[in-house]
Chains A and B, each alone.
Chain A
Amino acid sequence: MKLIIDESRCKGCNLCTLVCPYNIFQEGSELNSKGIVVPSLDRPGRCTNCRLSKLYQRRLCGVCQLICPDQAIHWVEEEPYEPLGVVIEF
């Protein structure tokens, strides 16, 4: 699972930056095409909700998604992890 901020919905209120216990959301610095400063994500893979919810079959934290007043935060499915094609030669 991968964390996504939907730029078409986000109004840049920065509430997500306030509540995330892992500080994954950081205040952004650049205006987007709608004139809104959307937060940036700092290594979203650190979020246990994203990484482990499938494993435990339950929702973990999820506070960012609940507090986002504009329903801009969600998770998308990712391709299953594939081992990199590193060939070890002897």
Chain B
Amino acid sequence: MPHIFCTGCGNGTVINCTLNAVVEMGWEIDDTIFISGIGCSSRAPGYVATDSLHTTHGRALAFATGVKMAKPDFNVVVFTGDGDLSAIGGNHFIHACRRNIDITVVCMNNMIYGMTGGQGSPCTPSGAFSTTTPYGASEPVFDLAELAVAAGANYVARWTTYHVKELTKAIKAGMETPGLSFIESVTQCPTSFGRRNKQRQPSDMIDHMKTHTILLSKKKRLEEAGQKVPDDYFAVGEFARRNRPVMGVKNK
């Protein structure tokens, strides 16, 4: 520190929450390793005082799989962005979940390609403006948490950079769960996303997260009652916690 992130970029907040969870787990520096691909979010491991790998775009999970299989005793944590994970790295994501490798994946979903100037990603909400969607995005959006559930991850949760306490708890729960844990954090990117979508100030984006999230359990209840949740709301909470067979757990 200080780091390269723009003023108000939520990536720093996600780092705080992850490191807090690591401290609560009592993990040692020598057997914890952080891995990332490429993107603003993927710069995170460089600021953590442990061994780390900053790998190629989209390949963080492939590298992490290698590390975990070679050294099952290591605690492996992956930082990744929505583009890194779900666009170029989409297949690695699905198969890491399917294999259920014992790693913790923290995805900073800023809904855009931040580092390369704001192109649309598979997570850009419909109607949102980016350099590649100048008339508003029209493609359907990947729901990363649902995708991880469907592909087989043992622990899946989604929170935002506004929900710092819940996010920390979720990351810790993910670290405690054997198998692949996927924690998605919806994260503000005032520079590439907010500036083009009438949320220029970091606080505008945080406000949006505060007012447009709904607890998963509440959403399910509303849907069961036949009520409609507005399209611009997204669910936060725990999506899965289960015991599928896992790969690469500690030998102890």
Give chain A's interface residues, CB within 8 Å of chain B.
8-9, 11-15, 17-19, 63, 65-71
CB-CB under 8 A from B206, the residues of chain A are 15, 18-19
B9 interface residue (CB < 8 Å to A)? yes
Contact A66 B165 (CB under 8 A): yes
Contact A9 B161 (CB under 8 A): no
Instruction: Name the distance in Å between A52's Cβ and chain B's nearest Cβ.
Output: 18
Residue B202 contacts which of A15, A65, A71 (CB distance < 8 angstroms)?
A15
B5 interface residue (CB < 8 Å to A)? yes
Residue A65 contacts which of B2, B11, B16 (CB distance < 8 angstroms)?
B16
Give chain B's interface residues, CB within 8 Å of chain A.
1-3, 5-13, 16-17, 20, 161-162, 164-165, 168, 201-203, 206-207
Contact A63 B8 (CB under 8 A): no
With contacts A8-B2, A11-B7, A13-B7 taken as known, whether A68 is within 8 angstroms of B202 at the C-beta atoms is no
CB-CB under 8 A from A9, the residues of chain B are 1-2
Contact B164 A14 (CB under 8 A): no
CB-CB under 8 A from B10, the residues of chain A are 69
With contacts A11-B7, A15-B206 taken as known, whether A71 is within 8 angstroms of B164 at the C-beta atoms is no
Contact B7 A12 (CB under 8 A): yes
Q: A13-B202, A63-B164, A68-B13 are in contact. List 18 more A-B contacts (CB 8 A).
A: A9-B1, A11-B7, A13-B203, A14-B201, A14-B203, A15-B13, A15-B203, A15-B206, A18-B206, A18-B207, A19-B206, A65-B16, A67-B13, A67-B162, A68-B12, A69-B11, A70-B2, A71-B16
Docked Cα-Cα span, A65 to B10, in Å, equals: 13
Closest 3 CB pairs of A and B: A69-B12, A13-B8, A66-B164
Contact A69 B168 (CB under 8 A): no
CB-CB under 8 A from B202, the residues of chain A are 13-15
Docked Cα-Cα span, A11 to B203, in Å, equals: 13
